[in-house]
């Protein structure tokens, strides 16, 4: 439960360690090493393959498992140049860790198609949704202002600066992006299944 003290958790872990096999210990040590290697690789601070070659076969698979999880998580919708560059690195990294590059490329083709759609048609869709929401909220606010103060004809309201607008826009964005995430998650599952 949430209420366990750090000491209790540490003691449970120590007890579990007593029962843990060599294999478990390796897993606990090397999966996090793989995760941190992948994070350094994505920042451009490590050479994935060179670092992996330092591990022997019995531990390398766990390092790869940790690295792969972080690289997969690194693939995201291409919102800006930074996320595009992380995507490229993550995809190169995953490909380097897989044996079947043909299957990987097949999934990447679908991913790239999704990314292109997100950047072109998706961008257009987001722009229209933004405009519609802005106009909608502007009308609502003008109506409210007129009711409060009689008529304040033609008073410009900075709609985008309003918390209500920002809140609704965030909600709308999540909704618009969710269709893309559904497919992206599907493709990530396919990638995980490739050896």
CB 110 within 8 A of CB 150: no
Mean pLDDT of the chain: 90
pLDDT at 82: 96
Global pTM value: 0.78
Angle (CA) 80-133-160 rounded to 5° is: 65
71 class by beta-carbon count within 10 Å (0-12 exposed, 13-18 middle, 19+ buried): buried
pLDDT at 150: 60
Which residue matches tokens 């933004």?
130
CB 130 within 8 A of CB 99: no
60-114: pLDDT as tens digits: 999 999 999 999 999 999 999 999 999 999 999 999 999 999 999 999 999 999 9
In a 3-state reduction of DSSP, which class is residue 194? Answer: coil
Rama region for 44: left / alpha / beta (φ>0; ψ in -120 to 50; rest): left
**Distances, alpha carbon 132 to alpha carbons 117, 142, 167, in Å:** 21, 15, 15
pLDDT at 2: 57
pLDDT at 119: 96
The residue extents of the domains of the chain are 8-97, 99-195
pLDDT at 151: 55
Q: What confidence category does residue 25 fall into, taking pLDDT thresholds of 50, 70 and 90?
A: confident
C-alpha span between 39 and 68 (Å, rounded) = 10
CB 115 within 8 A of CB 87: yes
């Amino acid at each position: 439960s949430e209420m366990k003290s750090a000491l209790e958790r540490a003691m449970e872990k120590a007890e579990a360690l007593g029962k843990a096999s060599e294999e478990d210990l390796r897993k606990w040590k090397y999966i996090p090493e793989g995760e941190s290697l992948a994070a350094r690789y994505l920042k451009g601070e490590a050479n994935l393959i060179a670092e992996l070659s330092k591990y022997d076969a019995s531990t390398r698979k766990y390092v790869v498992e940790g690295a792969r999880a972080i690289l997969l998580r690194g693939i995201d919708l291409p919102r800006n140049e930074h996320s595009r560059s992380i995507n490229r690195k993550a995809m190169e990294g995953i490909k380097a860790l897989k044996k079947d590059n043909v299957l990987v490329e097949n999934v990447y083709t679908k991913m790239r198609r999704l990314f292109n759609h997100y950047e072109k048609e998706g961008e257009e869709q987001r722009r229209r949704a933004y405009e519609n929401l802005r106009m909608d909220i502007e009308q609502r606010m003008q109506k409210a202002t007129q009711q409060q103060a009689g008529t304040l004809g033609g008073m410009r309201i900075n709609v985008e600066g309003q918390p209500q607008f920002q809140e609704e826009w965030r909600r709308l964005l999540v909704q618009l992006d969710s269709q893309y995430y559904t497919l992206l998650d599907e493709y990530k599952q396919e990638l995980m299944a490739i050896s």
